[in-house]
Amino acid sequence: MKKRQLGAAALAVLTGLALASCGGGGSTESASTEKAAEKQADASEAKSDSSSEDGKGLVYWSMWEATEPQGKVIREAAEKFSKDTGIPLDVQFKGRTGIREGLQPALDAGSRIDLFDEDIDRVNKTWGDYILDLEELSKSHDYEKSANAGLIAACREVGGGKLKSIPYQPNVFAFFYNQSLFDEAGISEVPKTWEELGEDCQKLKDKGYVPITSDDAYILSMFGYHLSRINGYEKASEIVKNGKWDDPSVLEVAKAYEDFAKKGYFSENISSNVWPAGQNQELALGSAAIYLNGSWLPNEVKDMTGDDFKWGCFSYPAVPGGKDGTEASNYGAQVFAISKDSKNPEAAFRFIEYVTKGEFDKKLSEESLGIPADSENSDWPEQLAAVKPVMDSLKTRYPWAASAEDNVDMTPILKENMQKLCGGEISAEDFVKNLQK
């Protein structure tokens, strides 16, 4: 297969991203800018706001870093909210690790936290006992009038039938692809079935491109989606949780991927790719065409793809005799939640509304190349234009990885064998035997 040579500029960007992801230094100017932002965030967290302490203001733990696009927009929104309402708001940027490791101990210790945000499943399932029912607040603000109905329904679903969180930064998990390579290969319609996907992969291969790539971060989702397409999520999850590897559908999944591997539809690096190799070194630079990932992907690789990269998106295809079709996917959002012990839930909800509608919902979408949460905001980023019809078509929500990570003890074993299977190192029968061990 032909491979596109990396230009000096592309290699420089790739090296910079690798250094950044590994904690290496970038330019002096970039490093000093980030340090200044972090210093400002630290100062904000360190200050003692008496109005927050006596219950008149708000304390908000954010999942973002102060230097991220989302963090910058949220800081701007918080400052404007306080100015417009007179309500002091102490934003504490914790980052993903900080909030996942520190939130529950802080709440258990009685620390003042009025509202916080994180992934829809983590907020509602892991921290569900700590959050307030928002049904009455939502009604009094007529919040759902312009909210995304599907995401609100998802929040109620994971909240046990109650609205206990408000979505923003929506996302969907699907196959993302390079539209220019599809055009070059003469592919005019996205595949809706596994057979059609195979036909398109052959066309791409004939043009000298790697049809599909993946890596250790996302390859398990390919197994989970296929298993859930065959069985529906509930049965697929039962198979994984209970180790029912002798179920015929497990071998069926393995044979489908063995077939693609034999036909050369996967990257030759797929068995060893460590994230972000698949997205940075193959998809973004034009040697691979398709990658199963989330709608955050265009933002993550924007410095490498440039403005002329044409993004496409399609839902995981239907499989022969499967229970679910392209209408099912993992979709969700980051969500805001209000602590049940908050002394000022009304003000907290006002801030949530401030961020998730109007000016700042639009700004979040623009700055982070994200999906807008407000249904009245029709200005999706150009890079996500192909995502909208996929999002609009979804009716069934899968949790993360569509069952593949529902048994944490098996996750590393499944991942290792899925990479070997796609890399052509083991057969479908070997895949099943290895899971049974």
Where is 329: in which H helix or E strand? Answer: strand 328-329
> What per-residue confidence (pLDDT) applies to 307?
80
The answer to whether residue 48 scores a pLDDT higher than 70 is no
Give the dihedral sign, CA 95/412/272/122. negative
Q: List the domains of the chain with CATH numbers.
A: 12-171+332-383 (3.40.190.10), 172-330+390-436 (3.40.190.10)
Q: At what angle do helices 219-231 and 248-262 cross, to 10 degrees?
A: 130
CB 410 within 8 A of CB 240: yes
User: Among the listed ranges 12-26, 263-277, 308-322, which one has the minimum average pLDDT value?
Assistant: 12-26
- Residues 87-123 have pLDDT tens digits of 999 999 999 999 999 999 999 999 999 999 999 989 9
Going by pLDDT thresholds of 50, 70 and 90, the confidence category of residue 245 is very high
The answer to whether residue 205 scores a pLDDT higher than 90 is yes
Going by pLDDT thresholds of 50, 70 and 90, the confidence category of residue 54 is low
CB 286 within 8 A of CB 375: no
Percent of the chain, pLDDT > 70? 87
For the chain, the average pLDDT equals: 88
Going by pLDDT thresholds of 50, 70 and 90, the confidence category of residue 51 is very low
> What per-residue confidence (pLDDT) applies to 72?
96
291 backbone φψ class: left, alpha, beta (φ>0; ψ -120 to 50): beta
The answer to whether residue 25 scores a pLDDT higher than 80 is no
DSSP state letters, 353-403: HHHHSHHHHHHHHHHHT---SBTT-----GGGTTHHHHHHH--EE--GGGG
- Decide which of 159 and 4 is more confident: 159
> What per-residue confidence (pLDDT) applies to 38?
46
- Decide which of 12 and 405 is more confident: 405
> What per-residue confidence (pLDDT) applies to 148?
86
Reduced to 3 states (helix: H, G, I; strand: E, B; else coil), residue 276 is: coil
Among residues 394, 395, 398, 436, which one has the least CA distance to residue 414?
A: 436
Give the dihedral sign, CA 383/384/390/396. positive
> What per-residue confidence (pLDDT) applies to 326?
98
Distance of alpha carbon 334 from alpha carbon 368, whole angstroms: 13
- Residues 129-185 have pLDDT tens digits of 999 999 999 999 999 999 988 889 999 999 999 999 999 999 999 999 999 999 999
- Residues 212-227 have pLDDT tens digits of 999 999 999 999 999 9
Distance of alpha carbon 150 from alpha carbon 120, whole angstroms: 13
- Residues 374-419 have pLDDT tens digits of 988 888 999 999 999 999 899 999 998 999 999 989 999 999 999 9
Going by pLDDT thresholds of 50, 70 and 90, the confidence category of residue 286 is very high
The answer to whether residue 82 scores a pLDDT higher than 60 is yes
pTM score: 0.79
Distance of alpha carbon 308 from alpha carbon 184, whole angstroms: 15
> What per-residue confidence (pLDDT) applies to 138?
98
Going by pLDDT thresholds of 50, 70 and 90, the confidence category of residue 14 is very low
> What per-residue confidence (pLDDT) applies to 2?
37
The answer to whether residue 236 scores a pLDDT higher than 50 is yes
The distance of Cα 303 from the centroid of its chain, to the nearest Å, equals 19
Six-digit token pair at 70?
A: 């989302």
The answer to whether residue 1 scores a pLDDT higher than 90 is no
Task: Tell me whether residue 410 is exposed, middle or buried, using C-beta atoms within 10 angstroms of its C-beta: 0 to 12, 13 to 18, 19 or more.
Answer: middle
Task: State the average pLDDT over residues 23-45.
Answer: 40
CB 133 within 8 A of CB 155: no
